A = this chain, B = another copy of it.
């Protein structure tokens, strides 16, 4: 891992861009660290530059509550090599949505499963490096979308002790099966009127998780309309499960 650009944000938070091989990422840590803090890995739909304002806001909120936050670029997004197959699946999805058709399982599988197959090992490699940095300690949390990445990561990665998942994207049916193997505490956010989301699929996914502690927070509005107070609720969730288990 190589740190490239670093800056101090207004509240003293240290923001460092890094490269992990050819994967760009960003790490946010407390301005005046005292003890090592647990890490929250921030998920997003891809495109670090486009997502930066929202990611930085989430990260600063997370760091203010006593965590480190980090994110990496998704395969095929931003400056990373695009996938022709994913582009084709995305075009097929757009065509189906515009035609008012139900998006077929085949399109969802082609769009999401290869992404999950690549992204989850990359998240785990990032954890290897990030959790070995001074000032950062395990266990870690995962927060955000793509929800299918969060599901697989929570199912296979024992260092993920809690996950906050955004039900805001298409979910392959096979991911429902993987969800049954997730046992860590979960906090699931669902935008009730999300135009790009299948509400019933999100409820089925919530039902499928094997976790004994899982909470669903459903709010009104579309995909980007998550209320500001949910940021606090998310931090309290991680405080219960990452800080208490240290």
Contact = CB atoms under 8 A, between A and B. Distances in A.
A192 B207 contact: yes
Contacts of A192: 206-207, 216
A137 interface: no
A214 interface: yes
Interface in A201-237: 203, 206-207, 211-220, 227, 229, 232-233, 236
Contacts of A203: 203
Contacts of A207: 192
A237 to B, nearest CB: 8
A173 interface: no
Interface residues of A, number: 20
A217 B217 contact: yes
A232 B227 contact: no
Nearest to A214: B220
Nearest to A193: B207
A240 interface: yes
A234 to B, nearest CB: 12
Given A213-B227, A229-B236, 20 more contacts: A192-B206, A192-B207, A192-B216, A206-B218, A212-B220, A213-B219, A213-B220, A214-B219, A214-B220, A215-B217, A215-B219, A215-B227, A216-B216, A216-B217, A216-B218, A217-B217, A218-B218, A229-B240, A232-B236, A233-B233
Contacts of A220: 211-214
**Pairs of residues from A and B, 8 with the lowest C-beta to C-beta distance, nearest first:** A216-B218, A215-B219, A217-B217, A214-B220, A215-B217, A212-B220, A213-B220, A215-B218
A10 B3 CA distance: 55
Interface string A46-57: 000000000000
Contacts of A233: 233
Interface in A3-61: none
A152 to B, nearest CB: 22
